[in-house]
Structure 1
């Protein structure tokens, strides 16, 4: 039964760590973040099973992680406000061509990262962007300004992974 408690505590700890690390997607992890996540697997195994290499110990650990993941998904559908805590919320990072530096700093996204993401979507200048939203999954949605002639080259939501 101790393995079940250890697995539950480790699940909570890993959830907190992944929330603290930020909104980067796996493809854009920094070298340190990648090493952290790879190393965590071995550390979790040691912390949860305490040298219990039995089949039963492995099944118990994986079962607890699976049940907690299912419970969290169920709770998110039952109580939508919980989703903001467990998954995060989208935040506005550019409004009418002006980046919100406070939000960018809080999300640990540099102006260079924002510009790189914008260039990948065909935006040459921030002034071409009506809105940019950092989604909860780490992607940036861009909405182009409409020019006076009615042609809005990149209008609509376009997404690219963040690099922060």
Structure 2
């Protein structure tokens, strides 16, 4: 693709094509906006993983037409994400179809065993997240939420505004 020497060509392709791929992703993010790889939703997370895979694939191609295909696939994913984000914003039904609901795992110092079971989160994993959040007493925990991205949010302190968990599903809601 770049030189007749196989080793030099492999090194050149790796360096040049991966750089071009990253520059293309940066341009697409500038056009589509910072939220593109934000991991705010499960769809965003999938987008991030797919972009990584496409950048890796783009750095390994041996023909320019293959590189063009990767670049077009990247642009198509960004366009699709943009369309889906607009549809989600416009329709609560589409939002519910595409997006998982966050799940309440703990409330006011009490572990919600049924929620742990349904979400397949172990108590050990929950306690690890509590330690990460510097929780010193379970009674200080107002809520622990398994977010739509798989992240765990720990809300602790003396009081909590109930609006923070208004869209969070509890085991009783299921």
TM-score, normalisation: structure 2: 0.48
**Match status 1:123 vs 2:135:** yes
Secondary structure class of the residue paired with 2:126: helix
| Partner in structure 1 of residue 124 of structure 2 | 112
Which of structure 1's runs of 4+ aligned residues deviate more than 3 A?
155-158
Higher helix share: 2
Matched residue pairs, number? Answer: 112
**Match status 1:72 vs 2:80:** no
**What is the distance in 1 between the residues matched to 2:154 and 2:96?**
18
Shift of 1:76: 0.8
**What is the distance in 2 between the residues matched to 1:100 and 1:58?**
45
**What is the distance in 2 between the residues matched to 1:58 and 1:122?**
43
Secondary structure class of the residue paired with 2:70: helix
Q: CA RMSD in A?
A: 3.7
**What is the distance in 2 between the residues matched to 1:132 and 1:112?**
14
**Match status 1:89 vs 2:92:** no
**What is the distance in 2 between the residues matched to 1:57 and 1:92?**
42
**What is the distance in 2 between the residues matched to 1:73 and 1:92?**
25
TM-score, normalisation: structure 1: 0.51
2:144 and 2:152 in contact (8 A); partners too: no
Correspondent of 2:75 among 51, 63, 67: 63
Shift of 1:41: 2.1
Stretches of structure 2 lacking an aligned partner (at least 5 in a row): 1-40, 165-174
2:129 and 2:152 in contact (8 A); partners too: no
Stretches of structure 1 lacking an aligned partner (at least 5 in a row): 1-17, 27-36, 145-151, 159-164
Secondary structure class of the residue paired with 1:133: strand
1:134 and 1:141 in contact (8 A); partners too: no
Correspondent of 1:142 among 155, 159, 162: 155
Shift of 1:156: 4.2
